[in-house]
Structure 1
């Protein structure tokens, strides 16, 4: 079946008019984050129960005429794993979504063992999606027919999946849990970015000394410039593990660079001079200019809080098993640790616990307080 692809803003405006009165839309998007330095939305998919339409922003089809529909809470928007999509839609087009229903969040709250779209569609409807193009370059034009078909399939089945999951959520008394999670998701946005040293955001850099951190920072800054110049994601230039190895061993010559086993020959041949120059800049930094890894003070041991935390984890394990839900979905470790430390004495006091959701407090508040007050 042919899927229309809208390539003009006028066509999107016409679609927005046609969709007036539609109570439910299924939505997805494809981006080029695996292939570009600055990712962007390359394709937007919309499905009603009767048809699917694709919108091509790269061809000039601005999706902002859909802003009214997307922001209307009376029109349900079904996504699967909405977090990234909502952030991307706001970043690229300032589109806000209200009336969200996320089938992946629903799957988590229902205790589905696997929550990927292909997994839940296969389990409940016997549908198998062709996932060959998950990491494809969606900026490619013209889009091959196989990629068009792949994109359309991602939203075609969401209507009946949402109907199934909503019925089960209602049956289990978890519909209000989902509603709160959806409302929280509607407000997610990409952060504006951190102007601090890149090295302080790199996993695995904590054990480095300050001089090594300075070398790593110069390597990361070089990689950012090279990635932007080539319009590629930084990881496609040189991987994090390689830069960490270079920062630790700080080779100063081509011979020493060749001895770095983590650095493939092809990257050494291509970037060897640049890497050595970045290392040299890091070694030349003054002591006052070197980054410093932030050290969090180690909290004093509190045996009473430890006992409360153990009681909370035991309660969570038993409750999660009874409800057939992942313990981390029921309530995460960070919240349990906060509860154990703050030790609220009443259900009303739970309202002041940052991050504890209303559905968790209403449904489990008395049990949580009971664990805290009688942790034996």
Structure 2
């Protein structure tokens, strides 16, 4: 082989460049923002005159505001067009809920929007969640942009997803972005629905969507302050007590000002104050973390919180172990309850096999927490019926119970 041939053999053929999908564009002119009673009345009339399901989306300001309220609601329906509604301009949007008249809602990642929509008087009677449907189809990516590209061959920009939607007036590029989020949601729903039917999963999806109608938000944490980033740096109960007092003070301030807590005082600053508490107010003022205007505005609140943490009685201090509901972390099972550890290992193996058989993500086949709960404390008499009842009591859907109850009962009783 010649040197030229050797060089050619060593060369790696470049990866073919995939052509970029064309961008999704608005088919109609950008509608004006609905922010008056007259405009809302006209919007309701147009929606009622439309046909078919109703595509909805909501924009929040999670990284900027304490509340999870909606700052823009997008609605689209065939024969009605797209509507951009400013919920801040109205006491409630019950007239809009009436205009929906029990028709199916189409949402993407419904659990993110249902609570803020309910806050303004919007409650679904039927819904279709495109993200959840994508999970049931075991698609590799289920974000809205990924689904739009997969099914429609179009790219959907998401550059304003983390914008401060409480801004007024909202910039036009943001409004275009928001309108595009519902532009093809109806077409997307129909294509995904056809795949669900072809995969024999439509009834499963119907049960999942039905359960979303009862969604009341994530369960409230008993000790939310323990989510402080870097909490492991707080050594001992006294330091944890100071973290808790500062966290709670910050949370009250953030709620009063409707500002995300991290903008009031970062978690890292809470940890620094708790691990090296200043001896007096002057020492607090001299700390590097108090140089910024945000934390400095609430100097007395931080010092009072530190004082409370330093003077708590021993019985008032938090434990060094996080209080949790249900069984302990699985890593501790082998020592604390070896039989439960064996049941969990068998249960996980069964769930993995079933998920592969039915082409599902394991977490959508059955919640991992339910498997842990059942493995830790199985029914006194393990059978298909008792396992099914235990899963049902914890919120499993009937289609899930039908697939996993028997195999789990066999695994746990062996």
TM-score, normalised to structure 1, is 0.85
Give the structure 2 partner of residue 68 of structure 1: 98
Matched, 1:179 2:206: yes
| 8 Å Cα contact 2:52/2:78 also seen in 1 | no
Give the structure 1 partner of residue 145 of structure 2: 118
Gaps of 5+ in 2: 1-28
- Shift, 1:44, TM fit: 0.9
Give the structure 2 partner of residue 26 of structure 1: 55
C-alpha distance in 2 between matches for 1:303 and 1:283: 40
The 5 Å alignment of 1:172-211 reads: 172-190=199-217, 199-200=225-226, 202=228, 205=231, 208-211=235-238
Matched, 1:362 2:402: yes
- Shift, 1:173, TM fit: 1.5
Give the structure 1 partner of residue 18 of structure 2: none
When the two chains are superposed, the root-mean-square deviation of aligned CA atoms in Å is 3.2
Specify which of 267, 270, 286 is matched with residue 240 of structure 1. Answer: 267
| 8 Å Cα contact 2:59/2:71 also seen in 1 | yes
Specify which of 347, 354, 359 is matched with residue 384 of structure 2. Answer: 347
- Shift, 1:183, TM fit: 1.4
**Number of equivalences:** 369
Give the structure 2 partner of residue 45 of structure 1: 74
The 5 Å alignment of 1:181-330 reads: 181-190=208-217, 199-200=225-226, 202=228, 205=231, 208-228=235-255, 230-252=257-279, 263=289, 265-266=291-292, 270=296, 273-274=299-300, 275-292=302-319, 295=323, 301-330=336-365
- Shift, 1:163, TM fit: 0.8
Give the structure 1 partner of residue 10 of structure 2: none
Measured at CA, do residues 245 and 281 of structure 1 come closer, stay the same or move farther in structure 2, by a change above 3 Å?
A: same
Specify which of 22, 40, 43 is matched with residue 12 of structure 1. Answer: 40
- Shift, 1:243, TM fit: 0.9
SS at match of 2:78: coil
- Shift, 1:229, TM fit: 5.4
- Shift, 1:197, TM fit: 6.5
Judge which range, 281-290 or 113-122, deviates more: 281-290
Question: Who wins on radius of gyration, i.e. which is larger?
Answer: 2
TM-score, normalised to structure 2, is 0.78
- Shift, 1:161, TM fit: 1.1
| 8 Å Cα contact 2:388/2:405 also seen in 1 | no
Matched, 1:59 2:95: no
Residue by residue, what CA displacement relative to the aligned partner does 1:129-172 show, whole Å, maximum 9, x if unpaired?
A: 22121111212222211011001000111111111111111111
Measured at CA, do residues 48 and 322 of structure 1 come closer, stay the same or move farther in structure 2, by a change above 3 Å?
A: same
Gaps of 5+ in 1: none
| 8 Å Cα contact 1:46/1:52 also seen in 2 | yes
C-alpha distance in 2 between matches for 1:289 and 1:364: 44
The 5 Å alignment of 1:122-201 reads: 122-190=149-217, 199-200=225-226
